[in-house]
A and B are shown apart, each in its own frame.
Chain A
């Protein structure tokens, strides 16, 4: 992309080079978080080097941070010049100022990712964090949901849950207890937006507005049991004794909801976490509550009366739906309850990460898992259904091809990182 831009006559610093650095940072983070060390200095050289040596994960993060600084600087220069020439930008229509906010929000994600290395002088996590959140001139940050980097589905790129595949997915993909239980504990009405009440509870007479009518399955449950329970007959009520994705929100059109890639709520929670960890001065509680508010805003939940729609029968036709009202008070009751109220102790960290997890529902790729892996919050369930001898894997194996195409470097890297094994249950440097 950058080469073609230069070939087409662009200057050395141009929108493609600036965004290219961000994309490199983004994808290197995605890759190294999965496997560990990666080729960096020798990588992407084509015919010049088919067997690139590996760099350490630390070196990769140093480079990612450098790219993000450079990207921010270059975009600032271009924005000042009024050069917004990005053709075919499906996210922001070439608005580099919006990209700059994304770069900095992503920068905060990277710093949060590095929380266990906060004292490493080469990474300088704390210093960078403080610089970003204290200098909005140099590091413009997202102001709200409108600044999200997000994928908007359409009639060609349909939302993954849509009317076409209702019969494939909607009746099979029951909800997880890890999500449902956290919402139920908090009397959190996001549950009513994203989930359906369990048909067995409707049959038993519970109203859909009763949090107790919702059940998720443990992700450790034997899939034989889970599918059996998800398919029990409840007569005219929706099948199963588990909750499913809300039919009204996810299965009545092709647009579904916007899928965050780098979202504003996450940024708020990342700032809250950094302040909580003492990386900079500020109010962790404010940012924590901003994140919660943004997530409620995303789901259209407002103070006062809200109308929620559910499916009585499990179907998705107009005649299947019913609705109920629910009164909500964010500041007055939701934020003040013990399960939500921010505290400066370790429980506060769990609160931040739990709310971040809830705001990650169906978005931001694997970030919910990466945050769990880093902090252990919130609790995930394991069992025979987890496979892998009932363990949640901690990393990905390197691509198979690397074993044969770059054998010597692969083997020495695996030796240095994991004592010669390429096992999904070992910890990457970031977690050590």
Chain B
């Protein structure tokens, strides 16, 4: 017995040793698959080792046996109609899958560098979005479609053709985009939703610290689809959507009772100031449309006297804008072929997105081609690759920006109702084709159809992103990967400005041609060693270590003519004055080393640390190498603490990270080292992520006199001791699941201490400089993000209901400026919110009444005043999916609540006399008196009654209230002049930023399989709608895109979008 005992002791030791190795040894896993709701066995469920082709299916009792499994493997169970589940094998030899219909219990999460981790072990805030969630009710831009889907991620959805959505993640705007583990250079238009398996949003610095300075503001990771899980080994997917943009949700309402002019007077002579208010006019302050004879742009000219005769003055142009705009179209088609075999994954996908804008003759075509090839040369050596080609092509996109270059400016703000849009379709003057447009005014504005069909702006961009990697298993617990990736693009934008078109600085109206060419090439090459081993029993370590070399090259050229000699010949040779050219080139290298180490003690706790060192060529030597640490803890306390039965899962997490960056910028304009030579319209900012050269003292060259070059030295003092900017973020979170995982709740609280940043400290201009580049400014952000998800009702044969609700908020305050500096930009002091909005305000008496001057119009405070805060109090999104058998309804309602904005559209439509309110109520009566030449409007508020001057202090506050007495304002004024004063302020146009939106509705129906036989499967048809309802204080603007800044801007009216989606596979 004693011998046996000794032997068994030895065996035990050997077994112990073996068991510590066992996770790398192959083993057999058994298990059973059961339906979550009915508890019955599921038959024919696919069981697969993720990333391999090894798999099996469950038998008639729901049981399966899977061989050749390692403890580091993920096993996936998938079943049509059910949510796919994944489990990390770990120490287990038996894994049961509980599968449910339509419930997402995300267990595996993609983290930085594409590392998939068991969510139990993650100590940072990451939220995932299934790629399929964005492929039915489509947006032309994939990122627009993420609005409301992630707590803490604010998407300022951008309705304008080719404009980038405004993105804010915890208040940071420059978000890194990563495809399959490697950062890419993205304008957001080169992301194709059909190829995306999941979006994974790394919300904080601790989640993205591994990406170094580029990940400072968080990251959106995209995992592309690879191969097929179909048991035939291949599948072909087809997805097609056709949608129409029609029906306005935000549209300025205008009056069509009064025409253009000033104080009720107008007569056309030459449309350039030669007549009575016939040039650069306001579209609505002219005479009333009463059919009276007034000389107009198309009135006949008496050949004898040369004098233009009057013709009846009527509202020919009622509803010009809505008659001009056309329904938009969005059509997307994707076909993807995927195949998987013993040794390979293969997927090839082609997409076309066609978008027709609301403005006539504007469109965008995006062709996307994606190919993924994985091949296992042996069980140890594996190859993986991906290639994406994306071509954006627009023969003409609209310029929205304020100015005569913008059709919206011409029509909404200053256009008039005295001309008929239909008469503008023949836009050349007879006998002056190609030289002179027809319009009702020739000094400032332009004919909308002429702009649409002759003033053309093209955009052509080709993006290629490719990566290839080789992975070699050195040992069962260790492998090494070498990966190289290229992200590169070329851009050409052109603008053809025809003869007789005018805009700011182009008043000679002799046409122009411009080219904007840019190209970017970036290579990232990594070597990564991965180690995954139980150091001792119960203590698992997962260690990744790697190095990265990033090489970056960018160059650009911008050229423009200075008027044309020959009309219509758009070529630099045809420039009337010397051509203006600007060029730019930049290079950068970044050398990095990084590691990620996770230590998991049994099932108790996981400690993750990451570190990265970057050496940047943009910063001064000595300060150009920096280290970013992060550390996080996660503990799934339900694994070891007794809990009430309704709590099925609980995890607490905490993390800290410090990240840095310096002298790089996320986007770049057309002429980075000189001022943009065009005085109007939009300067395109492309994605960049390269050096700013901000710390170089240089001359900039300008042509000040007679086109002679002259040099101007920088006003900014450079700094050889500049250090990288720094952000430290601390995060606490809890994830809970209740009632057998039916209800989930995630909460995160973060504190982000940002700075000292690199910033241009304003210095006294008497020093000879206006700013100095220093390390300074600290702010602190505090925020909360909540998600509630669940499946309150689940019946695969009946009715089911899933929901996801997101809620987030944050505030950022100034905590420090610079030693000895007490306020920033005149207004901001330490302790202030950084989103305070200062704008033009009225002077009010201590009772809050507006003080008017002797003309009966409000007096503006001489200094901008605090009118409110910009950021919302909170952002929310609610997603619901209801299904009954093969019919489903899903919808999303989201919005932002709180904050103020100065309504720019309201301001300009009032100033131009077009706002509908100017013909309604008291305004309407007073305006008619204006037309009769009688002052009649008495504005609100008081006047000073004791002949005493108002005195102000340096902050624009009245200093002598005590000396003032008041009387009610009793001075009658023209409504035009009162409106022009009152509404030319921010206070007069202030409105709530709160809005809510029925963002998307999808009604889906899966057609019966028997209709299609065997060859075609899963045929789904969906009726889809986007932006169907919009709720806001005023609906002349769409608030979606304005996530920062105190004022709104020019915008094309927003519409609903609805259509049909069809998808199937075969």
Contact = CB atoms under 8 A, between A and B. Distances in A.
Q: Which of B272, B444, B705, B952 has the most CB of A within 10 A?
A: B272
B966 to A, nearest CB: 14
Nearest to B859: A387
A-B pairs, top 3 by smallest CB distance, nearest first, are A167-B279, A167-B443, A167-B273
A391 interface: yes
Contact of B705 (A49, A156, A171, A314): A156
B307 interface: yes
Given A51-B764, A90-B708, A384 B855 contact: yes
A406 B973 CA distance: 44
B821 A404 contact: yes
Given A52-B767, A384-B853, A154 B706 contact: yes
Interface stretch (B262-270, B641-649, B652-660): B262-270
Nearest to B708: A88
Interface in B243-290: 262-263, 265, 267, 269-280
Q: How large is the interface on B (under 10, 10 to 19, 20 to 34, 35 or more residues)?
A: 35 or more
25 contacts: A39-B764, A47-B717, A47-B772, A50-B763, A90-B706, A157-B705, A166-B443, A167-B280, A167-B442, A167-B443, A171-B279, A224-B974, A231-B263, A233-B267, A239-B265, A239-B275, A239-B276, A315-B269, A320-B274, A385-B855, A390-B854, A402-B764, A402-B766, A406-B764, A406-B766
Nearest to B955: A403
Q: Which of A42, A166, A236, A316 has the most CB of B within 10 A?
A: A166
A49 B272 CA distance: 53
Contacts of A281: none
Interface stretch (A96-104, A285-293, A352-360, A393-401): A393-401
A43 interface: yes
Contact of A170 (B273, B855, B857, B951): B273
A138 interface: no
Contact of A423 (B263, B265, B952): B952
Given A88-B708, A166-B443, A399-B765, A224 B977 contact: yes
Interface string A141-158: 000000000000011110
Contacts of B707: 156
Interface string A124-167: 00000000000000000000000000000011110000001111
A232 B263 CA distance: 9
Contacts of B275: 239
Interface in A164-204: 164-168, 170-171
Given A45-B768, A404-B824, A171 B265 contact: no
Interface in A17-52: 38-39, 42-47, 49-52
B130 interface: no
B230 interface: no
Interface in B854-880: 854-855, 857
Contacts of A157: 705-706
Given A45-B768, A231-B262, A88 B710 contact: yes
A38 B269 CA distance: 53
Q: Which of B275, B278, B824, B857 has the most CB of A within 10 A?
A: B275
Contacts of B765: 399, 401-402, 405
B797 interface: no
Nearest to A231: B262
B342 to A, nearest CB: 68
Contact of B950 (A224, A232, A389): A389
Given A44-B767, A50-B764, A222-B854, 4 more contacts: A88-B708, A164-B508, A315-B274, A319-B306
Contacts of A425: 949, 951
A44 B762 contact: no
Interface string B767-787: 111101000000000000000
B955 to A, nearest CB: 9
Given A39-B764, A167-B443, A401 B710 contact: no
Contact of B953 (A52, A166, A233, A421): A421
A223 B977 contact: yes
Contacts of A390: 854, 949
Contacts of A168: 273, 279-280, 443-444
A252 interface: no
A316 B269 CA distance: 12
B954 interface: yes
A45 B764 CA distance: 11
B680 to A, nearest CB: 14
A317 interface: yes
A312 to B, nearest CB: 11
Contacts of B507: 164-165
B366 to A, nearest CB: 40
B703 interface: yes
Interface string B807-824: 000000000000001111
